[in-house]
Chains A and B, each alone.
Chain A
Amino acid sequence: MSLANFITELDQIAAAGKSAFDRAADAAALEAARVEFLGAKSGKLKAAQKGLGAVSGPEKPAAGKRFNEVKAILEAALTAAGVRLATTTSESSESLDVTLPGRRPIIGHIHPITQTIEELKEIMGRLGFTVADGPEIEDEWHNFEALNIPASHPARDPLENFYLATASAGRNGPMLLRSQTSTVQIRVMERQPPPVRVISLGRVYRPDDADATHYPMFHQIEGLLVDRHVTMADLKSVLRLFAASFLGHDVHIRFRPSFFPFTEPSVEVDMAWETVGGKTRYVEMGGAGMVDPNVLRAVGYDPEEVSGFAFGLGVERVCARRHGIADIREFYKNDVRFLQQF
């Protein structure tokens, strides 16, 4: 037998065997195919091996090499077929309706307010603002005095605040539930010299009757940057970066004059949300301004040396607008069907 004929025969066995292994629908069929091609006694490869002796001497090494290659090809195909059949389900004999629902793991959900807070924190973190924390129960110094809210100011009215009945008046006056997170800014500045670049956030409390847009407790996020040469242009630019990052597209920032005791100048901040028919629609973001010199003095900073800006926004409003939540009371009702939407 010539080498060429021998190799042709081997190649045919290889192709036929491989195809038989690949087609085997179950273990019995595969076993039959194995016996047919790789059987030790009467397999096709065993039969072909007899032809090896008929190949002339000098061509023997090449013939032997090819024989071994084909044997390896068939054994690999057999193994692969075995693996393939082993991994089909044990129910392979039963039919599977592939449109049945999968077995679903149950996964919990993070509260939408937390999600919004985390996102806002993350954006401000990129802009270099570090999270600072402070107590929810405050004294009058941190909630009012240091924030340039004198005793005669309407914001001090007992009816506008939740004063605590049982808490004894401390060194810094009676205690109350904080009405804004600016209290944390005071604590941070009292603790450390400038520069300061922090955001504070958390629960604040104001005597509002609960309705679709009010709740006596809500969350505020507030940013503060104090350093040499901080200007209102910095404030506007930081807010634009913040809004652009939050919305995912560039926006314009508009300032409207306003009044807060702890900032001067004070502004309401609007974002140019969209332009419809040549008219720009603005959406209110929150309040902001340059830190009032009295506030800087209250914490021992020199307003001639440093300047700063602060801004604050209500988390519930941002979150409700973002997700189309019509009634902010939903946030605190915790109907699991509501929570599982986010």
Chain B
Amino acid sequence: MLVSWNWLKQYVPLTVSVEEFERRLTLAGLNHEETTQQGSDFAIDLEVTSNRPDCLGHIGIAREAAVVFNTPLALIDPQPVESSVAVSELSKVTLNCPALCYRYTARVIRGVKIQSSPPWMLDRLATIGIAAINNIVDITNYVLLECGQPLHAFDFQRLDGREIFVREARQGEKFEAINHKSYELSPGMCVIADRTRPVALGGVMGGADTEVGNATTDVLIEAAEFDPLSIRTTARKLVLHSDSSYRFERGLDPNGLDWASRRCCELILELAGGQLAAGAIDVGRTPPAREPIILRLSQLRRILGIDIDVQEVLRILTALGNKIVRTMPTNEAVEAIPPSWRRDLTREIDLVEEVARIHGYDAIPEDVSVPMSISSRTDRDRVLGKVRESLVAAGIDEAMTISVVDEGLSKAFSPWTDAPPITASTPILRGADQLRRSLVPSLLQTRRVNEAIGNLRIELFEIARIYLPQASGLPDEPLMLAIASGGDYLATKGIVEVMVERLNAAATVEAFDFEHSLLTPGRASELRLGGKRLGFVGEVAACGQKLFELRSTTTIAELQLSMLEEIAELIPRSRELSPYPSVARDLNLVVDERIRWADLLDTVQSAAGSDLERVEYRDTYRDPQRLGAAKKSQLFSVILRKTGGTLTSAEADVVRDKVVAACAAAHGAALRV
């Protein structure tokens, strides 16, 4: 809300500087945005929260200032001189939609002279950025900005039948507004019509055809009250927002209509002449009576933590326009009726806030002792901490990407569900409207962005939720970890293995063949822990690289964090360690190409017996000349150690021979010498 400093001072005698005014009003709830000098005036921009439409006019701001600076308010009571002709003889208003328009009032002035507004009015309007049109239109704008009640002036002679019908719009009805744009109306919208057509969109904008112009002689002044929700819906639907709709949306003082109408007519008589018909047409509801509110003074201490003297409470409430009905004996409570312009005050807690903000929040101490209470880090956070630790140690940077993708990205990789993605009704960013079912596409996109900048080493991980639709109720939102790396399959799998080992030394990651159109056949797997799916790892295939416009080879992985939480041993138990030295035996077994390491390892582990500490894979070696076609040699070491004594060289040889024999029997392995 832009406020003219000079205009404001017409209602409240302010002796403070502009800066002090801004500071004090900010601390009372009207947040100061900025001030610009306009000639001899200042335009002060104050932020009005949506619960305070009473401050969308200079008088409302003046009221607040009067309370804050404890000065009287100089309000006027306009009493325009009426002629002997009654308004009911000139016009008529029929209200057909009381749900959309609560109340409609009209006054008629005949014989006005259209010209420019006087300099004092033009100055004030210019200060707050309102364009001058002609004296009548300027006056309706002026009064709107004075008291916050929107008004409209119709060219009375152009109203067909000189009467007004307030009704719901018909489907497809056309209307040309004063901005000279045409709108197609629909039910739920409130139109002001004459006998044949809409002449205004109620509460939003007047019509072009009945606009006051140079030829106008007679005017009908509308001051009405519309339903806030329907005004908002109408303005949004038509993308037609005005100073009027802005105020009606927020709800206005139901008792403010008549003052605004009289004030408008008084100014018209003064600046444009004419004869005001006697009385006003007034249809619709009578403003509802306000219910009294009881404020228990004990609630001030209970909510604010401070005591406020009853005299101060009474002063504040009265200054804000509340009518004190009574003060309970021994001052334990106050009963007050809020003013009509404060529709936000309906409950005791609302009055607590009013008293607090005017009394000043600086009176509330900031050094009371809050009782202690236990809290501990959640298991999830502990697991995530360890996961991040491992990934960072592996040289991977954490990324954070938006939760939505476009259709192409969404389709590219969705290993967790075949159900179509959840879609937002409006795109969230650059056309992306599908809630992601995997983090992988987002990370690959991020990789491309980095390649385009010329970054060479791009190692990224992200921890975020994906969104899986459910048959009923809210979607499932499992937390995922995804990696996109420039390393190959084994490098990325190794990172996963180390991370799992850090969470649980005994857990083993098992890999199973996995085929996906995005990934290179034979270089991707599904990973499992204890038979349950942990996730996927695989190298992006050439077509995948093309899809994501990637220049360099990439490996992706995506894991369910719930699985990591399940296996995590957050408090590892110490094991007793053998004090005796270990003995290693290196092996080089030639097997068929089809024999898998995991199967060979199983055989080695069961054959080696209880003295086996671990098996360390070294390398795979292929040489058709020396080994034969479709053969490979597996190099690995078995590390042996006894708990009860030193393992001798002879004992180690026995174990090695057992291992070789078992592998020969199970996999046709031959020891390469």
Contacts and interface: CB of A to CB of B under 8 A. Distances in A.
Contact of A131 (B305, B381, B464): B381
Given A139-B474, A233-B305, A337 B400 contact: no
Interface in B346-383: 347, 349-350, 352-353, 356-357, 361-362, 364-370, 372-378, 380-381
Interface string B404-438: 00000000000000001111111011000101000
Contacts of B349: 264-265, 290, 292-293
Contacts of A307: 302-303
A119 B28 CA distance: 33
A132 B162 CA distance: 64
A106 B395 contact: yes
Interface stretch (B10-18, B80-88, B101-109, B455-463): B455-463
Contact of A339 (B303, B347, B375, B398): B398
Interface in A124-138: 125, 127-131, 133, 135-138
A166 B423 contact: yes
A162 interface: yes
Contact of A336 (B301, B368, B391, B455): B455
A151 B376 CA distance: 38
A203 B401 contact: no
A332 B462 CA distance: 11
B374 A128 contact: yes
Contacts of A236: 364-366
A162 B477 contact: no
A137 B352 contact: no
A78 interface: no
B280 interface: no
Given A108-B394, A165-B425, A207-B426, A335 B375 contact: no
B291 to A, nearest CB: 17
Interface in A184-243: 195, 197, 203, 205, 207, 210, 215-217, 229, 231-234, 236-241
A137 B49 CA distance: 28
B506 interface: no
Interface stretch (B114-122, B129-137, B208-216, B228-236): B228-236
Interface in A260-276: 264-268
B305 A231 contact: yes
Contacts of B228: 152
A268 B446 CA distance: 36
Interface stretch (B465-473, B545-553, B592-600, B664-672): B465-473
Contact of B475 (A167, A197, A231, A258): A167
B402 A170 contact: no
Interface residues of A: mostly helix, strand, loop or mixed?
Answer: mixed
B398 to A, nearest CB: 4
Nearest to A133: B380
B449 A335 contact: yes
A154 B50 contact: yes
A111 B428 contact: no
A218 B654 CA distance: 63
B398 A237 contact: no
A98 interface: no
A65 interface: no
Interface residues of A, number: 85
A52 interface: no
Contact of B400 (A114, A127, A265): A114
A331 interface: yes
Given A237-B366, A257-B28, A336-B455, A152 B229 contact: yes
A164 B26 contact: no
B31 interface: yes
B398 A240 contact: no
A139 B474 CA distance: 8
A215 B435 CA distance: 16
Nearest to B421: A166
A336 B393 contact: no
A28 interface: no
Given A131-B381, A336-B458, A159 B236 contact: yes
Nearest to B369: A237
B550 to A, nearest CB: 15
Contacts of B656: none
A167 B375 contact: no
A125 B474 CA distance: 29
Interface stretch (A1-9, A13-21, A39-47, A247-255): A247-255
A55 interface: no
Choose among A136, A168, A254 the residue with the greatest number of B CB atoms under 10 Å from its CB.
A136
B429 A334 contact: no
A141 to B, nearest CB: 11
A265 B229 contact: no
Contacts of B50: 154, 259
Contact of B49 (A121, A171, A258): A258
B357 A164 contact: no
Contacts of A109: 392, 397-398
Given A154-B50, A254-B362, A336-B458, A234 B368 contact: yes
29 contacts: A107-B392, A107-B393, A107-B395, A108-B394, A108-B398, A108-B461, A109-B398, A128-B373, A131-B381, A154-B249, A162-B425, A165-B423, A165-B433, A166-B423, A177-B428, A203-B464, A215-B429, A216-B429, A233-B368, A238-B370, A255-B361, A264-B353, A265-B349, A334-B400, A334-B446, A334-B449, A336-B397, A336-B455, A336-B457
Given A231-B368, A334-B449, A334-B450, 13 more contacts: A130-B378, A158-B425, A165-B424, A167-B475, A231-B301, A231-B303, A232-B303, A233-B364, A236-B366, A257-B361, A266-B353, A335-B449, A337-B453
Interface of A: 105-111, 113-114, 121, 125, 127-131, 133, 135-139, 151-152, 154, 157-159, 162-168, 170-171, 175, 177, 195, 197, 203, 205, 207, 210, 215-217, 229, 231-234, 236-241, 252-259, 264-268, 290, 292-293, 307, 331-337, 339-340
Q: Which 10 A-B pairs have the closest CB atoms?
A: A233-B305, A231-B305, A257-B29, A128-B373, A255-B361, A259-B49, A265-B353, A106-B395, A108-B392, A257-B357
